[in-house]
Amino acid sequence: MRRGPRASGSALWLGALLMVCGSCDRKVAPPVAPADAAIVRARDAAPALPPLPPPELYMLAKKHLREGDFDHAILIYDKLITLDVSPDMTANALLGIGAAYGDKGDRKSALGAYERLVALRPRDVEARRILGVAFEDTGALVRAASELEKAAELAPDELTVFHDLGRIYRRQGKEDAAVKAYARYERERARLVKLLGLSKDEKARLHAAERLAAVPDDATGRALTLALDDRSADVRLAVVKALGELRYVPAKGPLRALAEKDDDEDVAEGAKRALSAILRAEQAEKATK
């Protein structure tokens, strides 16, 4: 992810980056819940952060997260929240905090960040989904299913929600419910793969590539890899981002070739970043064995 929707924390965060409030009822977000005690202690003990404006602090936090410097990323994201920045930036800061804690293996603190996120964005489908997966990772399957069912009510066609629900229902021994959830997931996945490979509409292919970035199976990984030669640079860029988010190891060779030869600079750089993400995931997996 790789576990697809159940990716490492930073993969989840990257997949949900720049969440918008299109599904929210509120124009003004409610106050964000306070940071947990661990963040407060780390904040008090840390050296002063550089005096940068919020957008630059945000990019610095992203850089730390991407490079695996999770403690500094958490501190900067928390600082952004205390600066009373926009609801969108606050939501992304909470995603970043949860991702960093997740990659550190601190599932309880990651869960706390995602609970704060859902309190901020109660009708955001991806926030609910991420919280559901976080509950699953702590073993709270009933709470996990509840959050994902709420997400499914908000977005009945969101394929990753049904993939997660199917997995959790199966873990709960609810086989009939699992089969139904997986069937809904597979119908939508197959439709998107067909769009990516066959549609003449560039926007449709782009939409399909972006949505398939959270689909955790080999068939989807192969379909995305084949789409690396799409005639549209925008679609190719979406595909390389998806493969990086999926940490799809069989795409290493094609991504390396694309990084070396693609005429579009953004695509070439995107391929390099995706390849780096895959290599880091491989190294992390080896380190845990």
Query: DSSP readout, 129-144?
Result: HHHHHHHHHTT-HHHH
Last residue of a domain, one of 198, 217, 239: 198
Nearest Cα to Cα of residue 71 among 41, 51, 92: 41
Task: Look up residue 79 and give its two tokens.
Answer: 């600082």
Cα 127–132–136 angle (5° rounding)? 145
Task: Look up residue 145 and give its two tokens.
Answer: 């299913």
Task: Look up residue 133 and give its two tokens.
Answer: 């997966």
137 and 209 share one domain: no
Which pLDDT does position 47 carry in this prediction?
54
Domain residues for the domain of 1 are 1-121
More confident residue, 108 or 25: 108
What are the pLDDT digits (tens) for 95-135?
999 999 999 999 999 999 999 999 999 999 999 999 999 99
Place of tokens 């069912």: 149
Backbone angle region of 140, left / alpha / beta, with phi > 0 → left and psi within -120 to 50 → alpha: beta
- The domain that holds 254 is classified in CATH as 1.25.10.10
Which pLDDT does position 167 carry in this prediction?
96
pLDDT (average), residues 142-167: 95
Terminal-residue alpha carbon distance, the chain: 18
Which pLDDT does position 106 carry in this prediction?
93
Q: How far is CA 226 from CA 16, 180, 230, 251, in A?
A: 24, 29, 8, 9
More confident residue, 270 or 30: 270
How many domains is the chain built from?
3
What are the pLDDT digits (tens) for 259-283?
999 999 999 999 999 999 999 888 8
129 and 116 share one domain: no
Residue 13 pLDDT > 50: no
Query: Residues 6 or more apart from 251 whose CB is under 8 A from it?
Result: 221, 224, 225, 228, 243, 274, 278
Go through the chain and tell me how many residues it has. Answer: 289
107 and 144 share one domain: no
Which pLDDT does position 216 carry in this prediction?
78
188 and 235 share one domain: no
Q: How confident is the model at residue 36 (pLDDT cuts 50, 70, 90)?
A: low
Last residue of a domain, one of 66, 101, 121: 121
163 and 191 share one domain: yes
Q: What is the DSSP letter of 174?
A: -
244 and 152 share one domain: no
45 and 155 share one domain: no
114 and 164 share one domain: no
Which pLDDT does position 27 carry in this prediction?
35
What are the pLDDT digits (tens) for 195-254?
999 999 999 999 999 999 988 789 999 999 999 999 999 999 999 999 999 999 999 999
Last residue of a domain, one of 69, 100, 121: 121
Which pLDDT does position 41 carry in this prediction?
57
- The domain that holds 157 is classified in CATH as 1.25.40.10
What are the pLDDT digits (tens) for 40-87?
555 555 556 677 888 898 899 999 998 889 999 999 999 999 887 789
Which pLDDT does position 9 carry in this prediction?
53
5 and 108 share one domain: yes
26 and 105 share one domain: yes
Which pLDDT does position 126 carry in this prediction?
93
Cβ atoms of residues 215 and 189 within 8 Å: yes
Residue 11 pLDDT > 80: no
